[in-house]
Chain A
Amino acid sequence: MLFNTISFALFLPIVFIFYWFVANKNLKLQNILLLLSSYFFYACWDWRFLFLLIFSTLLDYYTGLKMCDSQNKTQKKFWFILSVSINLGFLGIFKYYNFFIDSFLGLISNFGFKMNPYTLNIILPVGISFYTFHGLSYVIDIYKDRIKAEKNFIDYSVFVSFFPLLVAGPIERATHLLPQIQKKRTFDYAIAIDGLRQILWGLFKKVVIADQCATYANQIFNNSADQSGSNLVLGALFFAFQIYGDFSGYSDIAIGTARLFGIDLLKNFAFPYFSRDIAEFWRRWHISLSTWFRDYLYIPLGGSKGGTWIKVRNTFIIFLVSGFWHGANWTFLIWGFLNALYIMPSIIFNTHRKNLDTVAQGKLLPNFKELFLMMLTFSLTVFAWIFFRAQNVTHALSYISGIFTKSLFTMPTVTPLVLFALIGLFIIIEWIGRQNQYAIAHFGLSWPKPLRWSFYYLIIAAIFYFNGVEQQFIYFQF
């Protein structure tokens, strides 16, 4: 069940009504309802993988309890390693097994050996990277004595499987989400209305921006050998807007949906394309994953302590792991590596925490320097996205070499004017709302109601009109 389908538009109000009207008096009942709805939501994709989700939940729940009950450190460590190994083991089998086998074969074939090992012909369970990271954060936090193990299995299961975040995040922390699940939620009118508005904006980003850009990005990337340099640049730009609209749109829908149930999820995007340097970009892009890696990988590796070279090493490690998290392909590793390279100057010269505020705060327009820095950061990001989108490294390299030809200075032949106008409008609205939780959080709130509602109806009409091009969310594959 995708967020941008009629099925979800029917599913959501049904769960909402039951949640607030039937189960309102009883927290336990509310959580059971959330769990069953979440399992139903997941089963709509493929019910067979529901068992994997339940197994993963049971594993972390049980090992969490065992860690808490451990008499000594060795015992605790045993349960911790067991949980982490099985979690990563599943991820390894489903996501990385074929990649390692293929890479190994490629390597040994260079030495003249030939093998026919067993490769798995299986599909990747949707959301496995996300719920595995939920579980991992939980067991790591218990191991580090940051939290106590959750005794209530239903509550813990809702933490792992809560349907808005189940398949593509935001990647939640037990310290943030579990307390909300444990305590009674009260309905807040303003939050619920805001949630609906956020869902609407998320759908706009997904259906109107991402899916429309996808058509042209796919067309250009899939036939990159026949495209002029200017078309290839456009293709990369379209992909940049596609992936932003797709993933931040998903996050907005997830966060908005959770707010309808009185649950606050972690913010995942904060207008990343308005960043003035790569460090700022990474504080604004897929925030829940970046902070996850910061807290559970970068800091345990020593973080910023221990001198410049340790910082450089750790930064490379988290960017490479982050790249690899996205998929079993060398292109993702290079994408991670490129981003690590981009961020290096600010790590070495310790300027990575320079731009902590919002660009041109309180001003209508940025100054020339800010504009230049934003354009530079955006260009570097778009360049790295080429690796992210390409089918393999050879494809990415041929794509890039295709850009730097004479044809770069010709007029592009792909000129979807409506889409250009939509992207322009989108950038303006995002710019105006860049200091808020999401772009239209305060947009038009001071307008008279008929005008404000007309604006929302216009967004709905655009969603309806542009619907039907491409439906799958990119991050489902991760």
Chain B
Amino acid sequence: MRFFLIKCFKFFGILLIIGFCFYGSIDYLNSKKINNYISLIDKKFVFIGDSHIQNGINDELINSGINFSQNGESYYFSYQKLKRIIALNNQVKTVFLGFSYHSLSSYYDDYVFGKYNNEISSRYFFILPTSEKVKFIECNLGDEMSFLKNIFEKGIVNVIRQKDKYSFLGYYQNGFHNVQSRKTSMDKRIHLQFFNKTKIANFSNVNINYLNKIIVLCKQNNIDLIVLNTPLDPYYKSKIPQKFLDKYNQIIETQKLRVIDFHNLKFRKNDFIKDGDHVSVEGSLLISKFLNNQF
């Protein structure tokens, strides 16, 4: 029995050591590569946010800007990302942060510690501080194998991939040509984002809390923060519950945020994709050119 246990300890011990070394190497290589990349960015403007900014801001059209947005990115992850960028790069002078009505909805909580956390948090795992990493490991107990697999997979991909395609950083991406908004899709989208079954959804405390943290972080580092509210189809906007419109205005006022909401631009139906919530390639062209002219 003693011999059996010693052998098991040896076998699984070696396995654990291999596992930890593997993890350590991935962590080290990721950090090194990410830090190198961020420190070399020579841009004044950084665009951060979720799919609204990812779809909307074509940074190839903006001379001094770079788009680091990703779909499903909550302010929790934007904050962690921004902290890393600010710490490593002193070229960045202005942060353009996506801010819209849906950013306040509790549906976003699913993307932090909720049902999508396995998929989303594994993207950002290697830029998180250890204490936050532990939180996500705890959060995924029960689905730990798939979570570990996800972080290893994304970690390896980050090491192998080209520098602008890190899983956590984000980039401009929009494949929606010749499309237009549709009422049925917009109704579905509104329901998903602002309703919990039949009731109006609550506010997302996590997102609001981390929005405040981003504001403080920018102030502390003398970085201008401008919030970008990308255009919405008028039908979509008319369906947003009033409480979210009020909360949005209240935050803008109390935090004295500078807002760009593209109200002076004219948008057509084909500037939006089906859900009326995101811009198409045509819409993206409009707003990116506008921003380039302004800044």
Contacts and interface: CB of A to CB of B under 8 A. Distances in A.
A457 B18 contact: yes
Interface in A160-189: 187, 189
Q: Which of A187, A192, A468 has the most CB of B within 10 A?
A: A468
A20 B7 contact: no
B295 interface: no
A21 B149 CA distance: 34
A6 interface: yes
Interface residues of B, number: 18
B1 interface: yes
A6 B144 CA distance: 7
B265 interface: no
B18 A20 contact: no
Contact of A464 (B7, B142, B148): B148
A260 to B, nearest CB: 9
Interface string A446-478: 000000010011001000110110000000000
Q: Which of B3, B4, B18, B148 has the most CB of A within 10 A?
A: B4
Main secondary structure of the interface of B (DSSP, over half): helix
B149 A467 contact: yes
B11 A453 contact: yes
A193 interface: yes
Contacts of B150: 468
A467 B8 CA distance: 23
Interface in B139-166: 141-146, 148-150
B134 interface: no
B145 A5 contact: yes
Contact of B146 (A20, A189, A457, A468): A468
B7 A193 contact: yes
Given A187-B1, A457-B18, A468 B149 contact: yes
Given A187-B4, A189-B4, A467 B146 contact: yes
Contacts of B14: 453, 457
A251 B144 CA distance: 24
B15 interface: yes
Contacts of A189: 1, 3-4
Nearest to B153: A465
Interface residues of A, number: 18
Nearest to A13: B8
Contacts of B148: 464
Nearest to A457: B15
Contact of A468 (B1, B3, B145): B145
Nearest to A453: B11
A187 B18 CA distance: 30
Contacts of A468: 143, 145-146, 149-150
B145 A192 contact: no
Contacts of B15: 457, 460
Interface in A178-212: 187, 189, 192-193, 196
Contacts of B143: 468
Contacts of A7: 142
Interface in B44-93: none
A192 B11 CA distance: 14
A9 to B, nearest CB: 10
B149 A464 contact: yes
A17 to B, nearest CB: 9
Contacts of A457: 14-15, 18
Contacts of A460: 15
Interface string B1-45: 101100110010011001000000000000000000000000000
A193 B8 CA distance: 9
Given A453-B11, A457-B18, A467 B4 contact: no
Contacts of A453: 11, 14
Nearest to B150: A468
B145 A193 contact: no
B4 A192 contact: yes
A465 B149 CA distance: 6
A189 B1 CA distance: 7
Contacts of B141: 6
Contacts of B4: 187, 189, 192-193
A182 B48 CA distance: 68
Contacts of B142: 7
A468 B151 CA distance: 13
Nearest to A260: B4
Nearest to B10: A453
Contacts of B7: 193
A453 B14 CA distance: 10
Contacts of B146: 467-468
A457 B10 CA distance: 13
A187 B14 CA distance: 24
A200 to B, nearest CB: 11
Contacts of A6: 141, 144-145
A187 B143 CA distance: 34
Nearest to A192: B4
Interface of A: 4-7, 20, 187, 189, 192-193, 196, 453, 456-457, 460, 464-465, 467-468
8 contacts: A4-B145, A5-B145, A189-B3, A189-B4, A193-B4, A457-B18, A467-B146, A468-B146
Interface of B: 1, 3-4, 7-8, 11, 14-15, 18, 141-146, 148-150
Given A196-B8, A453-B11, A457-B15, 12 more contacts: A5-B145, A6-B141, A6-B144, A7-B142, A187-B4, A189-B3, A189-B4, A460-B15, A464-B149, A465-B149, A467-B145, A468-B146
